[in-house]
Amino acid sequence: MRILGVEGTAWAASAALFDSETDAVFIETDAYQPESGGIHPREAAEHMSDAIPRVIETTLNEAAGDIDADDRSSSSKRVSPVDAVAFSRGPGLGPCLRIVGTAARALSQSLDVPLVGVNHMVAHLEIGRQRSGFDSPVCLNASGANAHVLGYRNGRYRVLGETMDTGVGNAIDKFTRHVGWSHPGGPKVEQAAKDGEYIDLPYVVKGMDFSFSGIMSAAKQAVDDGHAVEDVCFSLQENIFAMLTEVAERALSLTDRDELVLGGGVGNNARLREMLAEMCEQRGAEFYAPEPRFLSDNAGMIAVLGAEMLAAGDTIPVADSAVDSNFRPDQVSVTWRGREAD
């Protein structure tokens, strides 16, 4: 089976081709880069409408190239270069989602193949679960607009802990905007933190949930008060990642699981991965982080989960395929996993 994935929830106009026979994933991404400030929804949507046709065309050309190769060794002709079109239905920025949804519906109809509506946050965690080969891990999604700790139970990914305010990457990006650094801020904080020392910043875990807005405001204030930006970056990372690690550990304990997977763009951070790996090692659990191209938003994860959903018959009629900017991971009925994993 070959699945075309289309992603465009915020900044990444991305298309991918997943071949379930070879397990190969081709990804073409065109990133929106704000001229100043953070992600502006209207500008991001303009970027989507400009870039989505291009990345899809490149990806379909890749698929057509494979077919030419197939045709040389086989007399059977494929009607369509792909067997289904999978797209991000949400969560994300409404104006971006609507453009991507329209493109996916048009493609599914013109290629005469099924449409698969994928939850972007479930795709962030499923790519780690599938690539790790873990049975039923706890999943930490640390992305720009979200932060969730999830565990699978009775046919759904249950949200065990989540942010009470801003997403974890967005908190970091808001701090770096204040400092005057360009978007995205996460990699710049990681770099600056290498030369920093710890200063006191808030640490907010409430039950199984975390809050990032207070620490983000305190970090801005600390810079305004004259603390070295390297020290603030170091301390911001230490506290935010310790908060995520604490809740992930409690989730492992609560669910009696011994596997943890990481998803989302903040997962690119080596210090976060180090803390999670150390916590897992100390409690005898296994830890897996996908390769970088599957961490930040990408259509590869949409195509890979789309293939699983298609195999389970989980397709969506065009009439029911409206996007949902608040689509939560626990709204998804997980059709593609056996009940034995409950």
The candidate with the shortest Cα–Cα distance to 91, out of 115, 123, 119, 52, is 119
Structure tokens, 273: 């991965």
Q: Which stretch binds ligand ATP (CB under 6 A): 18-26, 131-139, 166-174, 324-332?
A: 166-174
Instruction: Map residue 148 onto helix, strand or coil.
Output: strand
Q: What are phi and psi of 259, to 5 degrees?
A: -140, 140
User: What's the rounded Cα separation, in Å, for the pair 113 and 263?
Assistant: 29
Q: Which stretch binds ligand ATP (CB under 6 A): 15-23, 125-133, 142-150, 151-159?
A: 142-150
264 belongs to the binding site for ligand ATP (CB under 6 A): yes
For residue 169, how far is the Cα from the chain centroid? 11
User: Would you say 244 and 141 are in contact if contact means Cβ atoms under 8 Å apart?
Assistant: no
Shorter beta-carbon distance to ligand ATP: residue 61 or 191 = 191
Shorter beta-carbon distance to ligand ATP: residue 181 or 336 = 181
> x/- binding map, residues 279-298, to ligand ATP, per CB under 6 A?
-----------------xx-
Per CB under 6 A, which of residues 49..108 are in contact with ligand ATP?
Answer: 92
CB of 264 to ligand ATP, least distance (A): 4
User: What's the rounded Cα separation, in Å, for the pair 298 and 6?
Assistant: 8
Residues facing residue 116 across a β-bridge: 86
186 belongs to the binding site for ligand ATP (CB under 6 A): yes
Among 4, 10, 82, 97, binds ligand ATP (CB under 6 A): 10
184 belongs to the binding site for ligand ATP (CB under 6 A): yes
143 belongs to the binding site for ligand ATP (CB under 6 A): yes
190 belongs to the binding site for ligand ATP (CB under 6 A): yes
Beta-sheet strands, E only, within the chain? 2-7, 12-19, 24-31, 84-90, 115-119, 138-142, 147-153, 156-162, 205-206, 209-210, 259-263, 286-288
Q: The tokens 């802990």 sit on which residue?
A: 161
Structure tokens, 290: 């996908």
269 belongs to the binding site for ligand ATP (CB under 6 A): yes
Structure tokens, 172: 């970091």
Shorter beta-carbon distance to ligand ATP: residue 134 or 327 = 327
Q: Which stretch binds ligand ATP (CB under 6 A): 9-17, 212-220, 245-253, 299-307?
A: 9-17
Shorter beta-carbon distance to ligand ATP: residue 80 or 88 = 88
User: What's the rounded Cα separation, in Å, for the pair 15 and 88?
Assistant: 11
CB of 239 to ligand ATP, least distance (A): 13
Residue ranges binding ligand ATP (CB under 6 A): 9-11, 92, 120, 143-146, 167, 169-170, 172-173, 184-187, 190, 264-266, 268-269, 296-297
